[in-house]
Amino acid sequence: MRIDIVAAGRLKKGPEAAMVDDYLARFARTGRGIGLPPVGLAEIEGRRGGGMTAEAELIARAIPAGAALVMLDERGQQVTSPEFAARLAGFRDAARDVCFVIGGADGLDPALRARADWQIAFGSMVWPHLLVRVMLAEQLYRAATILAGSPYHRD
Ligand SMILES: C[S@@+](CC[C@H](N)C(=O)[O-])C[C@H]1O[C@@H](n2cnc3c(N)ncnc32)[C@H](O)[C@@H]1O
């Protein structure tokens, strides 16, 4: 199994980048004992003014072949952290690669969204894509702790 995040935008050094690095490092440490590999991160930077379709082509190229596509979108399904963890465990147990996709300022191209195996939302409000990256990294770490039975998550 491999786990990737394909995200629009390049994260400069700063608090968001530090948080993403920290949560993904914690995920790698916790995941090691429970069959979850470290998360790969591909940042997609479209040409200024290139538009959603051009960005979608770059995103599509970065998605590993055969991976289950989990798209982050405010219109997606809202799930609890334990449900998210269970789904991640399902991909692991099926030895299925999984790729999380986060769009840019204009959102994800509808044709790309149509390819999603699962669309999830962190609430129905729109968040900046860089914050969504932090939130996804934290939820991945939280999921790993739930699966490992460690006390980070409390219902
Ligand atoms: C600034 S938002 C784009 C919003 C855009 N107006 C749209 O119509 O989709 C950038 C990206 O962040 C992610 N995102 C924003 N809000 C989200 C939410 N509530 N849940 C999940 N992902 C979200 C999505 O991947 C989105 O493509």
Q: Is the pLDDT of residue 25 over 80?
A: yes
Average confidence (pLDDT) over 115-129 = 97
Q: Is the pLDDT of residue 24 over 70?
A: yes
140 vs 110: CA distance, rounded Å: 25
4 vs 105: CA distance, rounded Å: 21
What pLDDT, on the 0 to 100 scale, is given for residue 54?
87
Q: Is the CB of 128 under 6 A from ligand 1?
A: yes
Average confidence (pLDDT) over 104-130 = 95
Positive or negative: CA dihedral 23, 100, 102, 56: positive
Mean of per-residue pLDDT scores for the chain = 95
Q: Is the CB of 74 under 6 A from ligand 1?
A: yes
pLDDT in tens, 44-72: 987 666 778 888 999 999 999 999 999 99
Catalogue the E-assigned strands of the chain. 3-8, 39-44, 68-77, 98-102, 118-120
Q: Is the pLDDT of residue 114 over 80?
A: yes
**Cβ atoms within 10 Å of 58's Cβ, excluding its own:** 17
Q: Which domains does the chain have, with CATH numbers?
A: 3-148 (3.40.1280.10)
- Which residue among 44, 127, 138, 140 has the greatest number of ligand 1 atoms within 8 angstroms of its CB, and so is best to mutate? 127
75 vs 139: CA distance, rounded Å: 18
151: CA distance to ligand 1 center in Å?
30
High-pLDDT (> 70) share of the chain, %: 97
- Which residue among 126, 133, 136 has the greatest number of ligand 1 atoms within 8 angstroms of its CB, and so is best to mutate? 126
- CA-proximal residue: ligand 1, atom 4 (nearest): 107
Average confidence (pLDDT) over 112-127 = 97
Q: Is the CB of 119 under 6 A from ligand 1?
A: no
What pLDDT, on the 0 to 100 scale, is given for residue 48?
66
47: CA distance to ligand 1 center in Å?
19
